[in-house]
Chain A
Amino acid sequence: MSNNSQDSKPKFAMYWAAACGGCEIAVLNIHEGILDVDANFDVVFWPVAMDTKYKDVEAMEDGSITLCLFNGAIRNDENAEMAHLLRRKAKILVAFGSCACEGCIPGLANLYSKQAMLDTVFSTLTTDNPQGIRPQIAFQAPEGELSIPYLFDTVRPLDHVVRVDYYIPGCPPESPQIAAVVGLVIQALRGEAQLPPVGSVLGVGNSTVCDECPRKRSEKIITEFRRMATYQPNSTDCLLEQGILCSGLATRSGCQARCPSANMPCIGCYGPAAGVVDQGARMMSAVASVVGSNDPKEIERIMDGIVDPAGTFYRFSLPASLLGHARVG
């Protein structure tokens, strides 16, 4: 890493905002490929791997980082400050992973107010909190002031805060896709390949998860929605045709249909398919078109089988969707 690096190499950074660390693990899972990153880049900032500080990043020249992979959503003021800082310093800023692209699972918090979230977390069954204490941004301890970051009201994807050059979706992105993108950037830096147009989604296919899925498809006529909790689907036929709400129809290809291949429905982690603005809206219209009845009462009965529409259709994409968040407050 930096101890055997040369200044002449392009500079690489990776940062996590409100994230789980899975994106870092996915990068490490390119295994020996990580040596290519080391050989071709000077890794200047990567909290998982090295100890460069924010101040050191601030001291870098604007635009001096060639490639920055930014994962995690924007949940607090520290996340937002880092997004602005890295935008200034990076030539190519990539929204990496579902949190940075769409908000991901933690984006479901946008269905609730921040206050409701704090009240819930600090009053659970085991919480011993008779005084109703809530974390304070600035707290006067006997020895001096203690501060913690300010939580924003909602979770936002990276491009709601700064301009983003490319998107690599997935929760997390599949390691072979990461390796391919890294390879492409290395080639482009050598003048052996062209970088795609700014705004492109990289490390993906151009269709839907359904097109990669090995399951057998025929006509979709659904008279009952079923749940994995109480149903065991067969392992060969389309899950949606078996009544399981699979998000493959509205979700971008690129993962090789991992979950359907393991007899589980696609949960939508690769975000909206190419050309789709709102993954949830697309999924809803797809579902509406396969309901096997024209009778309003029967349609209502069938649709009642979907117990959590908001969470099902917007599981990974609520903050980036046309809805963004629930009206709360």
Chain B
Amino acid sequence: MQRITIDPITRLEGHGKIEIFLDGDGNVANTYLQIPELRGFEQFAVGRPVEEMAVITNRICGVCPEAHHMAAAKAADAAYHVDPPRPAKLLRELLYSAFYCTDHTTHFYVLGGPDFVMGPDAPVAERNILGVIHKVGLEIGGKVIQMRKYGHTVIEMIGGRKVHPCTSIPGGISHGITEEQRAEIEGMGRWAIEFAQFSLGLFNDVVLGNDAYRDLILGDIYYHRTYSIGLVDENFKVNFYDGKVSVVDPNGKRIGKYAPAEYSDWIAEHVEPWTYLKFPYLKKIGWKGFVDGVDSGVYTATPLSRLNAADGMTTPLAQAEYEKFYAALGGKPVHHRLAIHWARLIELLYAAERWVQLATDPEITSDNFRTVPTATPTEGVGIVEAPRGTLTHHYWTDARGVVTRANLIVGTTNNYAPISMSISKAARAFIKQGTVVTEGLLNRVEMAFRAYDPCFGCATHALPGQMPLEVTVRSAGGAVVANLRQFC
């Protein structure tokens, strides 16, 4: 059987690799997305004090360490049976909102955006952030750098460091902020709102204003009817830091909502022998393989799924965009995978508005930022929405608070099955009997997973270029028929 190997695509704390097998006619028979690395945090968490999970597990990912820091801190709160005082929660969420702005910005401008701003078939040398800047102006490049700087400034002020923040501890946070810092944070947040609005405007002009892109977004290739999950507050509005996880079916019907401690009633993970990563699915529906539909437990945890799983946004500007989004795409739920890019920008606006809300809360500069735990620790689950999906940390401890067992279900992992399905569908659509495999093909296969902002593109957030992709077309005997590469 002929095969096309895409190796490496890029990293998930290692490399991703795609194998595309062709049948005798040259049509796609099957595809495999393999994750070839494992570091085993669940093992070496054992023996460590549970309060250190917030600084140990953030080393899972240096792009979204804030998410691991928060999920681990919340799990440690729960393990110590302590509810942090309100100002501590505000400070954590403020850090987290600034982080979201930084993270979503880099994805849109560096990773996902170039496909649209430059076009899916633009020359590879131009289809990157530098191309975007050349096309839309240097000023925008400056804004992107400014947004990243502002986000990291807030992260460092509250979290102690720009990468791998360290300050969230059981019962709250290690220090507060001054009025002077608060005012600076508020100013940066107001700028972030304008930046988010500008970004939505750019998306509207460049992407939605282009019929070819609209067709691409609304077409069949990048489309899967799966379940959606996302964290919501008590009014079923999107929240990144706290709440319960809402689950809706492919028709948009809510089938339930679970608290962090109930996650194992809802989520299970399927194992395949050809990859180091597991495939989470909805336990109540069951694993039916790599298929979508109401009977398949495959779900997504993305910006789009968060909007699908919620009833709206708590901030006015983001709520208006939310309504516009569903009006334009034919109502809830939306399953067009490329619409994740649009949903991400709505979340960017929400995060910026939330940043200002939190920075102007009268309690944000309070000295009451810690309740020191007194209970004997036992077990705790913490959930936050990482930019790439619902993040669950679960620790069991002995009476001294030393971890005896751990379970982590990480952002991108949630989406492993749907990403695999999207790759498969795009490959089947573009690689057919007699097709000449071109560079444009590579990019369209890439676009299938790039929409998810997968963490195997973790640091690919950061600078020019695409996921590194190589496609080797081999004959059934293994000889190389064609070799295509992308260059920046």
Partner-B contacts on A (CB < 8 A): 1-3, 16, 18-26, 28-29, 31-32, 34, 46-53, 55-56, 75-76, 78, 104-106, 108-109, 111-112, 116-118, 120-122, 124-129, 133-136, 139, 141-144, 146, 148-149, 151, 171-172, 175, 227-232, 235, 258-259, 261-264, 267, 269, 307-308, 310-311, 315
- Tell whether, in the assembled complex, residue A126 and residue B280 are in contact, meaning their CB atoms are under 8 Å apart: yes
Chain B neighbourhood of A24, CB < 8 A = 62, 459, 462
What would 11 more interface pairs be, CB under 8 Å, given A50-B488, A149-B36, A307-B49? A20-B458, A29-B162, A47-B11, A76-B37, A124-B406, A126-B267, A143-B3, A261-B160, A262-B167, A307-B401, A308-B402
**Closest chain A residue to B157, Cβ basis:** A262
- Hey, what's the 0/1 contact readout for B278-310 against A, CB within 8 Å counting as 1? 101000000100000000000000000000000
**Distance (whole angstroms) from the CB of B284 to the closest CB of chain A:** 13
Which of B40, B41, B50, B65 has the most chain A CB within a 10 Å cutoff?
B40
Residue in B36, B161, B469 whose beta carbon sits within 8 Å of that of A258 in the complex = B161
Chain A neighbourhood of B122, CB < 8 A = none
Q: Can you give 6 A-B contacts (C-beta < 8 A)?
A: A16-B459, A23-B62, A31-B149, A135-B276, A143-B21, A171-B164
Chain B neighbourhood of A47, CB < 8 A = 8, 10-11, 468
**Closest chain B residue to A175, Cβ basis:** B162
Known: A21-B459, A126-B268. A29 touches B174 (CB 8 A): no
- Hey, what's the 0/1 contact readout for B312-341 against A, CB within 8 Å counting as 1? 000000000000000000000000000000
Cβ of B394 under 8 Å from chain A: yes
- Tell whether, in the assembled complex, residue B174 and residue A262 are in contact, meaning their CB atoms are under 8 Å apart: yes
- Tell whether, in the assembled complex, residue A121 and residue B43 are in contact, meaning their CB atoms are under 8 Å apart: yes
Chain B neighbourhood of A53, CB < 8 A = 468, 470, 485
- Tell whether, in the assembled complex, residue A51 and residue B488 are in contact, meaning their CB atoms are under 8 Å apart: yes
Chain A neighbourhood of B470, CB < 8 A = 53, 55
Known: A22-B164, A109-B44, A149-B36. A139 touches B62 (CB 8 A): no
- Tell whether, in the assembled complex, residue A146 and residue B32 are in contact, meaning their CB atoms are under 8 Å apart: yes
Task: Tell me the dominant secondary structure on chain B's binding face.
Answer: loop
Complex CA gap A105/B55 in Å reads 9
Known: A18-B39, A109-B40. A136 touches B274 (CB 8 A): yes
Known: A21-B458, A25-B459. A16 touches B11 (CB 8 A): yes
Partner-A contacts on B (CB < 8 A): 1, 3, 8, 10-11, 13-15, 17, 19, 21, 29-30, 32, 34-44, 46-52, 55-56, 59-63, 65, 76, 80, 124-126, 130, 145, 148-149, 152, 159-164, 166-167, 169-170, 174-175, 263-264, 267-276, 278, 280, 287, 370, 372-374, 377, 394, 400-402, 406-407, 409, 458-460, 462-470, 485-488
Residue in B15, B55, B162 whose beta carbon sits within 8 Å of that of A78 in the complex = B15
**Closest chain B residue to A116, Cβ basis:** B43
**Closest chain A residue to B50, Cβ basis:** A229
Residue in A20, A124, A235 whose beta carbon sits within 8 Å of that of B13 in the complex = A20
- Tell whether, in the assembled complex, residue A21 and residue B61 are in contact, meaning their CB atoms are under 8 Å apart: yes
Top 5 A-B residue pairs of the complex, sorted by shortest distance between their CB atoms: A22-B62, A262-B160, A50-B488, A21-B459, A229-B51
Chain B neighbourhood of A124, CB < 8 A = 42, 269, 406-407
**Distance (whole angstroms) from the CB of B243 to the closest CB of chain A:** 20
Complex CA gap A50/B458 in Å reads 14
Chain A neighbourhood of B10, CB < 8 A = 47
- Tell whether, in the assembled complex, residue B466 and residue A262 are in contact, meaning their CB atoms are under 8 Å apart: no
Chain A neighbourhood of B62, CB < 8 A = 19-26, 172
Chain B neighbourhood of A172, CB < 8 A = 62, 163-164
Chain A neighbourhood of B167, CB < 8 A = 262-264
Complex CA gap A125/B393 in Å reads 12
Chain B neighbourhood of A116, CB < 8 A = 43
- Tell whether, in the assembled complex, residue B273 and residue A135 are in contact, meaning their CB atoms are under 8 Å apart: yes
- Tell whether, in the assembled complex, residue A148 and residue B164 are in contact, meaning their CB atoms are under 8 Å apart: no
Chain B neighbourhood of A117, CB < 8 A = 38, 40, 43-44
Chain A neighbourhood of B459, CB < 8 A = 16, 21, 24-25, 48
- Tell whether, in the assembled complex, residue A148 and residue B276 are in contact, meaning their CB atoms are under 8 Å apart: yes
Residue in B49, B287, B374, B462 whose beta carbon sits within 8 Å of that of A308 in the complex = B49
Which of B161, B163, B272, B370 has the most chain A CB within a 10 Å cutoff?
B163
- Tell whether, in the assembled complex, residue A18 and residue B13 are in contact, meaning their CB atoms are under 8 Å apart: yes
**Distance (whole angstroms) from the CB of A312 to the closest CB of chain B:** 8
Complex CA gap A22/B130 in Å reads 22
Known: A143-B3, A172-B163, A262-B174. A49 touches B462 (CB 8 A): yes
- Tell whether, in the assembled complex, residue B162 and residue A111 are in contact, meaning their CB atoms are under 8 Å apart: no
Known: A51-B486, A146-B274. A22 touches B63 (CB 8 A): yes
- Tell whether, in the assembled complex, residue B166 and residue A128 are in contact, meaning their CB atoms are under 8 Å apart: no
**Closest chain A residue to B20, Cβ basis:** A143
Chain B neighbourhood of A1, CB < 8 A = 130, 464-465, 488
**Closest chain B residue to A26, Cβ basis:** B163
Chain A neighbourhood of B40, CB < 8 A = 106, 109, 112, 117-118, 120-121
Chain B neighbourhood of A149, CB < 8 A = 14, 36-37
Residue in B43, B145, B467 whose beta carbon sits within 8 Å of that of A109 in the complex = B43
Chain A neighbourhood of B166, CB < 8 A = 258-259, 262, 264, 267
Complex CA gap A149/B49 in Å reads 32
**Distance (whole angstroms) from the CB of A230 to the closest CB of chain B:** 6
- Tell whether, in the assembled complex, residue B462 and residue A25 are in contact, meaning their CB atoms are under 8 Å apart: yes
- Tell whether, in the assembled complex, residue B13 and residue A120 are in contact, meaning their CB atoms are under 8 Å apart: no
- Tell whether, in the assembled complex, residue B11 and residue A21 are in contact, meaning their CB atoms are under 8 Å apart: yes
**Distance (whole angstroms) from the CB of B26 to the closest CB of chain A:** 14
